[in-house]
A and B are shown apart, each in its own frame.
With several copies, the nearest count.
Chain A
Amino acid sequence: MNELLDTKHIIESLLFVADEPLSPKRLSELIEVDVATVKNIVETLKEEYRALDRGFQIRQVAGGYRFFTHPANAEYVEKLILAWDGRRLTQAALETLSIIAYRQPITKITIGTIRGVNSEGVVGSLIDKGLILETGREKSPGQPMIFGTTKLFLERFGLNSIKDLPPLEEFEPDDTTKSSIEKQLYSEEIVEEEDKEGEIKDDGTPSESDG
């Protein structure tokens, strides 16, 4: 029992001093107890901090445990330390990041094709921010570089693994959007049809006026 207490004490110290998430396996190797015990102890710690309403918590990100400050105090913490500059991600960056996250490994050209625009600049800035990296080269003519997300990406987005992302199908545009896209691209036909509708209107048929 006493030994368990000691182990808890040590795990707390290690998580405290670490500068990256520590996996249960890593912790188990460092202090020579089994992984299940490590997991139990960390759960106990989490619960203790919650119960005692501490100003910090342990969260599981990128496959490991890490200490974070309590979100309620973010405003004060920001007065003290510099926010990571990646907190300001543009729409273009987020969209490119999601393409890479779901389709990795992926080439710049494929990203550009999906976005309909050269994405060189956005990819570069995501690399600079440490969110993606070159993971190799595609085995195709020209051997273009392929990209994937980094551990930092998982950390920053509070994900334990890339599998924790919601399935892409969830983001399928709804039917209204789809039909609006179709309608608009057939706008010429629609215009003709609306003219006809205009005529029908004389018969007392309610017509939806153009948007």
Chain B
Amino acid sequence: MSYTVKLEIFEGPFDLLLNLISKHKLDIYDIPIGEITDQYLDYLEKIDELDLEIASEFLLVAATLLEIKSAGLLPREEKLSDVEDLSAFEKRELLIARLIEYKKFKNAGQSLGARIESHNKFYERNAAVEPEFQDLLPDFLIGISTEDLRDIFEKIQKRQSLRLIDSSHIATIPISIESKLEEITELLRLEPRQSFREMTIAATGRDEVVATFLALLELYKKGVISLNQATTFGDIEIEAEESLDLLKDPFI
């Protein structure tokens, strides 16, 4: 499998700051969003097939950049606390200390990554119990009704669903992803094959396109649609799986 996820995907402000500091040697008060975007598009182009996870992280990065640029450097929660009383100099000192602390964990994360990489080659034996011993296993169907099965399934869905794409950095999408999800689910029931361009042709603006995209990612994650993109930056084909029908307006 050629998953070359060797990209330096960063997610948050500290990571971003460090990256800018180490790679671009830029004044962080003057982040060139265009340049960073170009760089990311380059990365994306190098990937054989568009990896949705990377694409969505890219959205986060782009949004984060805008946020930093507009909102200043310190994380929002801090503004409410005593940080406000600090002088500009002290704020910087604090920021430096936190960046160094963060860098330590980032390094540790890389070492964890290397560790799992080397451990990945070991596969544990995970086979089912031999037929002779099957009867010893507890009969998990005792006392289980179809309603129980449904409840279990709904619980798993719920567990999954609040991994809704973390949109904390795309603070003001006036269109809610939930309503988009509903709308798309309905559309796909009427017409199970659609293209992303068709779907967004009437979009009122970029934010609606983004919301549509995020909603599709969510449906994809739930396994109720399949996505296919023949060429990089080509149109995305969306196809509803049969399981879509089993979802009864699941997002309201």
Say if the two chains contact directly (CB < 8 Å). yes
Contact B125 A68 (CB under 8 A): yes
Please name the residue on chain A nearest to B28 by beta carbon. A184
Decide if A106 touches B149 in the complex (CB within 8 Å).
Answer: no
A-B interface contact total, Cβ < 8 Å: 339
CB pair B156–A95 under 8 Å, yes or no, is yes
| 8 Å CB interface, B102-146 against A | 102-113, 115-116, 118-134, 136-138, 140-141, 144-146
Assess the B248–A168 pair: CB atoms within 8 A. Answer: yes
Cα–Cα distance between A207 and B120 once the two chains are bound (Å): 49
B53 contacts across to A, CB distance below 8 A? 88, 90
Q: Which of A74, A113, A184, A189 contacts B123 (CB 8 A)?
A: A74
Residue of A nearest to B223 (CB): A110
Chain B residues 150 to 176 lying within 8 A of chain A, measured CB to CB, are: 150, 152-154, 156-169, 171-173, 176
- Among A18, A115, A165, A172, contact of B15 (Cβ-Cβ < 8 Å): A115
Please provide the chain A residues from 147 to 203 with a CB less than 8 Å away from any CB of chain B in the complex. Answer: 155-159, 164-174, 177-178, 180-182, 184-189, 191
A81 touches B104 (CB 8 A): no
Question: In the bound complex, do residue A188 and residue B172 qualify as a contact, i.e. CB atoms below 8 Å apart?
Answer: yes
The distance from the CB of A130 to the nearest CB of chain B, in whole angstroms, is 11
Given the known inter-chain contacts A69-B123, A94-B109, A98-B112, please indicate yes or no for A125 contacting B128, CB distance below 8 A. Answer: yes
Interface pair A128/B131, CB less than 8 Å apart = yes
Main DSSP-derived SS at the A contact region: helix
User: 0/1 per residue, A67-108, Cβ < 8 Å to B?
Assistant: 111011010011001111011111111111111011111100
Enumerate chain A residues within 8 angstroms of B115, measured Cβ to Cβ. 157-159
Q: Is B35 an interface residue (CB 8 A)?
A: no
Q: Within 8 Å of chain A (Cβ to Cβ): is B55?
A: no
Query: Would you call A181 and B99 a contact (CB within 8 A)?
Result: yes
Across the A-B interface, give the 8 residue pairs with the lowest CB-CB distance, nearest first: A117-B12, A121-B166, A116-B14, A71-B121, A95-B109, A124-B128, A171-B107, A158-B119
Beyond A168-B154, A188-B29, 14 additional pairs, beta carbon < 8 A: A69-B130, A74-B120, A92-B9, A94-B112, A94-B144, A95-B15, A95-B156, A98-B152, A113-B221, A114-B101, A117-B12, A122-B166, A165-B146, A177-B103
Chain A residues within CB distance 8 Å of chain B: 16-19, 56-57, 59, 66-69, 71-72, 74, 77-78, 81-84, 86-99, 101-106, 109-110, 112-122, 124-125, 128-129, 140, 155-159, 164-174, 177-178, 180-182, 184-189, 191, 210-211
**Could you pull out 9 A-B pairs where Cβ atoms are within 8 angstroms?**
A94-B113, A95-B105, A113-B75, A114-B160, A158-B119, A168-B248, A171-B161, A178-B100, A187-B171
